[in-house]
Chains A and B, each alone.
Chain A
Amino acid sequence: MLTADGLFCERDDRILFQELSFRLGEGEVLQVQGSNGSGKTTLLRILCGLHDGYEGEIRWYGEAIADQEENFFASLLYIGHRVGVNKVLTPLENLRWGCSLQQQVSDSTILAALAELGLHGFEESQCFTLSAGQQQRVALARLLINPARLWILDEPFTTLDSDGVAQLENLLRQHAQSGGSVLVTTHHKLSLASLEILSLD
């Protein structure tokens, strides 16, 4: 569904990657690996359309993304390094807004998702009182709510505890099994059946 052809990107006169091609099909998980500074985040941002300093072609179901942005964004869920959780708002309020950009969602759906990620009892706390891992979980709750087919996740495992890691891996597995695609950067070893690895080194 998502194909990249001959991607080239340089930053500050340093070539991050060139002639990079891959294909991410339905039900596949693609793990992007590479040392620090190898351009993993830049690659993900390019694929989301947040960064345009690249050459090459990116297609979504065979069509250039620029020609069908609305369609592409409606099927995309991106969670970056900065997870998009406002510190003043509560998890419930954050998700109400974050999800409503893409779909209609009821409070009970959000509360159920938060409870499943172990945030029961924190729904009404302001996010600055939560730990980094809990804030990460608030962002990850969107995975449970949003029906997007393509997940692009930048280091989603970093602040999670071991239970959280297992739970997230499980989510990735379920998403792939139901025909969704995942692009993920992590240094964590994933144990998934449909895993492919893209190395930037």
Chain B
Amino acid sequence: MTEHTTTAAAFRATLARDLLIAYKRKNDIVNPFMFFLIVATLFPIGISPDPQRLGEIAAGVLWISALLAAMLSMDNLYRADYEDGSLEQLLLSPHPLYFMVLAKNISHWLVSGLPVVLASPLIAYMLNLPADAYFALFMTLLLGTPVLSLLGSIGVALTVGLGSRGLILAVITLPMSVPVLIAGTMAVQQTHNGAPLTGYLAILGAMLLVSITLAPLASAAALRISIN
């Protein structure tokens, strides 16, 4: 008789599978990143190339670009699995769906969120972000982008069964992301003005912990409804 897998092994297998799929479909990795670069570049063109003004809006620009990039890549999360039946197999695994969803969310963040975080100092330089705000920006994006992936996952899970989704995903997900956006941009601005960063990082860290514990449960429930 063969051994049944532990939940940890199923978690690892799901994470490895999603990363492998992203690696094989290169555009999953490249598209959100390029989108991020392009959106961030549009602001100086559209508003003003004046370094002074750019420096003032840089944090907001980077955060909004990161949010939109996360949005764009969201659909990859469950769509292909829904269409080829893998999602049904995932729902029928004997392991808690929470961990399977969490594995997929982590993979999504590693593929679409992490590159954006790593590239953010470069774009910040282009937008003339004040030198003392770099660390705050990097840290808030590092804590905030996983929250965006986790929250977005709920929206995708709710809409994956719909034939024509259009903008509905953005309408569901963007309002949920507003608190993260506020905390992120406030942190960068306030530390530039001399306030300590730790308080904001604590708030973002708390948001991350709450979404790690609750968001996958909501995604799992939404997936069960969508597959019904």
Contacts and interface: CB of A to CB of B under 8 A. Distances in A.
A87 B80 CA distance: 9
Interface stretch (B89-97, B111-119, B173-181): B89-97
A129 interface: no
A70 B21 contact: no
Looking at A89, A103, A126, the one whose CB has the most chain B CB atoms below 10 A away is A103
Looking at B5, B13, B94, the one whose CB has the most chain A CB atoms below 10 A away is B94
Looking at A49, A53, A87, the one whose CB has the most chain B CB atoms below 10 A away is A87
Nearest to B81: A86
A4 to B, nearest CB: 18
Interface stretch (A74-82, A115-123, A164-172, A182-190): A74-82
A193 interface: no
Nearest to A142: B89
Interface residues of B, number: 31
A78 B89 CA distance: 8
B2 interface: yes
Nearest to A135: B84
A97 B92 contact: no
Given A86-B21, A89-B17, A126-B24, A100 B5 contact: yes
Contacts of A88: 21, 24-25
Q: Is the interface of A mostly helix, strand, loop or mixed?
A: loop
A76 B2 contact: no
A93 B17 contact: yes
A49 B90 CA distance: 13
A145 B93 CA distance: 15
Interface string B7-47: 00110011011001100110000000000000000000000
Given A73-B93, A89-B24, A103 B85 contact: no
A38 interface: no
A103 B89 CA distance: 13
Nearest to B6: A104
B5 A82 contact: no
A93 B94 contact: no
Interface of B: 1-5, 9-10, 13-14, 16-17, 20-21, 24-25, 80-81, 83-86, 88-95, 227-228
Given A84-B84, A86-B84, A96-B17, 17 more contacts: A48-B92, A70-B94, A70-B95, A73-B93, A83-B85, A85-B84, A86-B86, A88-B21, A88-B25, A89-B17, A96-B13, A101-B14, A101-B94, A102-B5, A102-B93, A104-B4, A104-B9
